[in-house]
Amino acid sequence: MAHGPAKGLSRWLFTTNHKDIGSMYLWFSFAMFIIGGIFALVIRAELFEPGMQIVDPNFFNQMTTLHGLIMVFGAIMPAFVGLANWMLPMMIGAPDMALPRMNNWSFWILPFAFFMLLSTLFMPGGAPNFGWTFYAPLSTTYAPESVTFFIFAVHIMGASSIMGAINIVATILNMRAPGMTLMKMPLFVWTWLITAYLLIAVMPVLAGLVTMMLMDIHFGTSFFDAAGGGDPVLFQHIFWFFGHPEVYIMILPAFGIISAIIPTFARKPLFGYSSMVYASASIAFLSFIVWAHHMFTVGMPIAGELFFMYATMLIAVPTGVKVFNWVATMFRGAMTFETPMLFSIAFVILFTIGGLSGLMLAIAPADFQYHDTYFVVAHFHYVLVPGALFSIIAAVYYWLPKWTGRMYNEILGKTHFWVAFVGLNVTFFPMHFAGLAGMPRRIPDYHMMFADWNMISSVGAFIFGASQILFLYIVLDTIFRGKKATDRVWENSEGLEWTVASPAPYHTFSTPPEIK
Ligand SMILES: [Cu+2]
C-alpha cells in the first residue's frame, strides 16, 4: 500500500502526488498574483493623475507588459491547473493523475520560466516593453535585448501547459472509476477536459510564433518584417489564433467551478446539466473562428470583418445558456450566502457585464471607436477579475476545508468578498467611460479630461489590492488555527470528493469507489 508523504524539501521537489502538486501550483500562482498585482499598482499609482510622477514611460511599458504576462501565464492558468490537480482525481474516483512524474516536471519548470521572465527587469535595456500581446515589429526589430529570454520563458511556460493538458486528458479519459460515465462527470471535469484540448491545440501555435520571432531577431528571416517581404499583420493573425482560445482557456474551468458551487448553496441540482456540457463544447469550437475580432482596425476585407463580427456574436448564445442555467438553479432555491456563494453570484453578475461589453466590441464599426481604448481594458478585466479570478477564490473557499480539514473564518471571508467587490468595481467600471471618451490604453500620461475617472480607478485598485492581502491572511489563519471541518463540510454538497475525510488523506481511491 502506498506510503505517506516524504519529509522536508525533498517531499516537494520529488513529489508525484496530485495533492502536493496541486498545492504547489496554487501557492506559486498566488505568489505570481501578488507580483502581477504590485505591477498593476505601479501602473495605477502613475495614472492617479496626468503628467509623469513616479516612473518613466519605458518602465511604465515594462509594467503593463509584465502585468499582463504574469497574470495570464503565471497566476490564472497555473491556479486552474492547481485546482485540477487537487480535485480531478477525487472527482472521478482515481488514485492520482495518469502521468505523475510528468506532473512533477510540468510544475517544476514553471518557477524557472518566471524567474527568467522577471530577471529581464534587471537586464540592460530592461524588461519586454511591448505589451502582453508582443506585436512585431515592436517585439522584434525594436525590442530590448531581453526579448530572447522572454521568448525562452514563453517556450518553457508553453511546454508546462501542454504537459499539464496531456496529463488531464489522459486522466479523465483513462482513470475514471467504473460507472463514472462521461455524462455523470461533474461540470468541472467536463470544462477541464475541453480546456485541455484547447491548450493542446493552441499552445504549439504560441510556441511557433515566438520561434518565428527568434528567427527574425537572430537568424535573418523576415516573417514579420515588411522590408524583407514579411508581414507584420501576419503576426497578429497567428497571435490571436492562439490568443482568443487562450481567453476561453482562462474561463471554461471557471464555468465548471461555478456549476459546482451554486447548486450546493441553492440546495437544488444544477439546471440543464447536458446543455451546460454542449454549451462548453460549442464555446470551445467557436473560440477557434473569431480571432480577428481583435484586428478589426488592421484594414481587413469587409467580408472578413462581417464574418468575424457574426461569429463573435454567436458565442453569446452558448454563454447565455450557461448564465440562464445558473440563474435557473438559484431560482426558488433554499439559498444561503456563504463566502463561496457570494463570489459565485458576483461572478454571474459581473461576468455578464463583461460579456455585454464584449458584444459591443464585436460590432466591427463600433469597435473602430473602442479599439485600443480603456473600454477594451474595462471589458477584459470584467471577464478576468470577477470572472476567472473570483471563480478561483470561490473554489479556494469551497474546497479549502477539504484540503486542510479546517474551516475558514466566515466573517473574514465575507469581509474579503465585499472589499474586493467594491474595490474591483471602483477600479474597472470608470474605465468604460474613460475609454468611451477616447482614452487610449498602455499610455503613462493622458489629457486632463480623463483625470477624474483615473483618480477613481486608482483608488479602487489599492482597495482591491488590500483585500487580497486579507485573503492571504484568511488562508494562513485557516491552515494554522481554523476550526475542525466535517467530512461533508457543506450540508448539500454533491460529488465524490465529499465522500473522503477532511483533510483528504494523502492517497485517496487506491481502490475505485462505487459509483451509483
Ligand atoms: Cu478574442
27-52: average pLDDT: 98
Residue 516's pLDDT is: 75
Look up 244 and say whether it is catalytic. yes
- The set of cell numbers assigned to 152 is 525562452
Task: Examine the pLDDT at 508 and tell me if it is beyond 70.
Answer: yes
Look up 432 and say whether it is catalytic. no
CA neighbor of 84 nearest in space, from 249, 245, 206: 249
Task: Examine the pLDDT at 63 and tell me if it is beyond 60.
Answer: yes
Instruction: Using the mean position of ligand 1's atoms as its centre, give its distance from the Cα of residue 215 in Å.
Output: 27
Alpha helix (H) ranges present in 175-218? 187-218
- DSSP letter, residue 48: T
**What is the tens place of the pLDDT at every residue in 369-390?**
999 999 999 999 999 999 999 9
Task: Examine the pLDDT at 316 and tell me if it is beyond 70.
Answer: yes
Average pLDDT over the chain, rounded to an integer: 97
Look up 67 and say whether it is catalytic. yes
Instruction: Using alpha carbons only, give the angle 253, 256, 261 rounded to the nearest 5 degrees.
Output: 130
347-351: average pLDDT: 98
* Terminal C-alpha separation, the chain: 26
Q: Which CATH number fits domain 15-226: 3.90.1520.10, 3.40.920.10, 1.20.210.10, 3.40.50.300?
A: 1.20.210.10
Q: From CA 459, how far away is CA 383, in angstroms rounded?
A: 21
CB neighbours of 452 closer than 8 A, spacing ≥ 6? 430
pTM of the predicted protein model: 0.97
**What is the tens place of the pLDDT at every residue in 211-245?**
999 999 999 999 999 999 999 999 999 999 999 99
Instruction: Using the mean position of ligand 1's atoms as its centre, give its distance from the Cα of residue 508 in Å.
Output: 39
> What residue ranges do the domains of the chain occupy?
15-226, 251-502
Helices H, strands E: what count in the chain?
17, 2
Residue 165 near residue 196, CB atoms below 8 Å: yes
Catalytic residue among 19, 44, 268, 322: 322
Catalytic residue among 192, 240, 248, 490: 248
Where residue 8 falls among pLDDT bands split at 50, 70, 90?
confident
Residue 494's pLDDT is: 87
Residue 487 near residue 501, CB atoms below 8 Å: yes
CB neighbours of 227 closer than 8 A, spacing ≥ 6? none
Where residue 352 falls among pLDDT bands split at 50, 70, 90?
very high
Say yes or no: do domains 15-226 and 251-502 share a fold. Answer: yes
28-41: average pLDDT: 98
Where residue 514 falls among pLDDT bands split at 50, 70, 90?
confident
Place of cell 473602430: 368
| Helix (H) or strand (E) segment spanning residue 483 | strand 483-484
Cα–Cα distance list, 450 to 44, 419, 425, 430, 433 (Å): 13, 25, 18, 10, 9
Task: Examine the pLDDT at 2 and tell me if it is beyond 60.
Answer: no
Ligand 1 (ion): residues with CB under 5 Å are 244
57-69: average pLDDT: 98
Instruction: Using alpha carbons only, give the angle 51, 54, 55 rounded to the nearest 5 degrees.
Output: 95
Q: From CA 428, how far away is CA 461, in angstroms rounded?
A: 8
Catalytic residue among 20, 216, 246, 367: 246
251-502 CATH = 1.20.210.10
pLDDT cut 70: percent of the chain above it: 99
Instruction: Using alpha carbons only, give the angle 467, 81, 354 rounded to the nearest 5 degrees.
Output: 55
Residue 5's pLDDT is: 76
Instruction: Using the mean position of ligand 1's atoms as its centre, give its distance from the Cα of residue 167 in Å.
Output: 27
- The set of cell numbers assigned to 377 is 481594458
Residue 3's pLDDT is: 59
Q: From CA 242, how far away is CA 432, in angstroms rounded?
A: 26
**What is the tens place of the pLDDT at every residue in 403-425?**
999 999 999 999 999 999 999 99
Q: From CA 131, how far away is CA 443, in angstroms rounded?
A: 11
Residue 1's pLDDT is: 47
Instruction: Using the mean position of ligand 1's atoms as its centre, give its distance from the Cα of residue 284 in Å.
Output: 12
Q: From CA 139, how far away is CA 131, in angstroms rounded?
A: 9
Look up 508 and say whether it is catalytic. no
Q: From CA 226, how far away is CA 210, in angstroms rounded?
A: 18
Look up 240 and say whether it is catalytic. no
